[in-house]
Amino acid sequence: MQTIPITQARQPKPQQQTAEDPVIRKPRLLEIVPLSYATIQRKINNEEFPKPIRLEVNSVGWKLSEVQAWLDSLERAEGVA
């Protein structure tokens, strides 16, 4: 079995951030979402929360527009209930 050097390994391409749709990191996410990170992770796994996007090899972020849409959907659901 041939090993591939890390420099040749396929790395995920970082997502480009635009002014119209900024990407937020975990600290900012926890400031605006009224849930613990463990609960957010559980909701991501259950497809109940927007999935993070890969920014670099060891970092992820969330599109602010997707998080805001999720928060808006909670407010609409509470208004209906």
pLDDT tens-digit map of 2-38: 555 554 444 444 455 556 789 999 999 999 999 999 9
- With contact defined as beta carbons under 8 Å apart, do 53 and 23 qualify? yes
- Alpha carbon of residue 39 to chain centroid: 13
**Mean pLDDT lowest among 8-17, 54-63, 68-77:** 8-17
pTM: 0.72
Average pLDDT across the chain, whole number: 83
Evaluate the CA torsion angle 34, 41, 70, 22 in order and state its sign: positive
Length of the chain: 81
Q: Taking Cα atoms as reference points, which of 17, 1, 5, 3 lies closest to residue 60? A: 17
What proportion of the chain, given as a percentage, has pLDDT over 90? 64
| Mean pLDDT across 52-62 | 95
